[in-house]
Amino acid sequence: MEPVSVVIVDDHPAIVDGVRAWCAAAAPPITVVAWGHEPAVAVSGAGAAADVVLFDLQLETGVLAFDAVGRLVAGGRRVVVYSQAADDATVLRCLETGVSTYLTKAEGREHLIPAVHAAARDLPYVSPALGGVMAGDRRADRPVLSDREREVLLAWFESDSKNLVAARFGLSVKTIDTYIARVRIKYADVGRPASTKAALVARALQDGLVDLGDL
């Protein structure tokens, strides 16, 4: 199997270096094919063919690059947003656009590496921060979550440990994973259509993670 390739769009050299080091040490390995501080690095040269775009939302001070994310997603790219911004509105807006997943920069390699692997395979990945945002979502057009799904998401946000969540609810880690992934798929199934969202839903249906009745 070809190693997963990623292009990093981030304006902090330290972050780029750190992520490259994490990717090099990852198992299975992740190849960083290009990096730079402009979205252009993901659409031309070596970056254009990368499986996953790791995208820093805040490329200029005070400006969030939603438009660039939108263009990448519209071009069928799998975007993992890795951002300083952790406010609910920003995260929900990115989900709505059709990004594969959203990580805050407070979330380190233990979330970033699995998130990139999951994105490359069109599998859902929900970091604790993203779980917290989805659990607290009160918009009128949000997907309908069961009480248990909401509780599990909140617990995941609180503990950052699926072992602790599993111990608390007396369920297996695999079941906890299913609850969390199912919520992510529900989010992919609402709002504006995008090919990346469709791929997430299709893959989840194929793998039996959700059935049509859940959606």
Partner 1 sequence: MTPDGLVAERPSLALALLHSLRVARSVIVLVILVGLVLPHVVADLAVYEPRWTGPAWFAGLLAVAVADGVLVLRRRTWGRARWPAAAFVLALSVWATALLPASALVGPPHQTLGAVGWFGVLLLADTGLAALLGFLGVHVALTVVQLGLADRLDLLTAVDLAVVVAATGGFQLAVGTAGAALDRVAGAATEAAHRQAATVTAEEVARQLHDDREERYTRLRDSVLPLLLGIGDGSLSPADPDVQRRAAVEAARLRRLFAEEGDVVDLLAAELGSLVDLLDQRGTEVSFSATGERPVPPAAVRSALVDAVAPVLLAARRSARVTVSAAGTGVLVGVVTDTDLATAVTDVPMIESVGPAEISVVVVGTEQQTWVEVRWSPSAS
Q: In terms of CB distance, is 109 or 168 closer to partner 1? A: 168
CB 116, CB 30: distance < 8 Å: yes
Shortest CB 151 distance to partner 1, Å: 9
Residue from 129, 181, 201, 204 binding partner 1 (CB under 8 A): 129
Residue 181 sits in the site that holds partner 1 (CB under 8 A)? no
Residues 61-90 vs partner 1: string with x where CB under 8 A?
A: -------------------------x-x--
Closest among 144, 124, 88 to 201, alpha carbons compared: 124
Binding partner 1 (rule: CB under 8 A), the pick from 28, 62, 138, 206 is 138
Q: Give the interface segment with partner 1, choosing from 2-10, 67-75, 128-136, 191-199 (CB under 8 A).
A: 128-136
How far, in Å, CA of 155 to CA of 69, rounded?
A: 29
**Binding residues among 101-120 for partner 1 as defined by CB under 8 A:** 104, 106
Site for partner 1 in 156-175 (CB under 8 A): 157-161, 163-164, 167-168
Burial (CB count within 10 angstroms: exposed 0-12, middle 13-18, buried 19+), residue 89: exposed
Contact call for residue 128 and partner 1 (CB under 8 A) = yes
The conformation of residue 146, written as its DSSP 8-state character, comes to -
Please choose, from the candidates 126, 132, 144, 142, the residue with its C-alpha nearest in 3D space to the C-alpha of residue 184: 126
The size of the interface with partner 1 (CB under 8 A), counted in residues, is 22
Q: How would you class 170 by CB atoms within 10 Å of its CB: exposed for 0-12, middle for 13-18, buried for 19 or more?
A: exposed
Contacts of residue 116, defined as CB under 8 A and 6 or more positions apart, other chains included, come to 4, 6, 23, 30, 52, 54, 80
Contacts to partner 1 by CB under 8 A = 86, 88, 104, 106, 128-129, 132-133, 135-136, 138, 154-155, 157-161, 163-164, 167-168
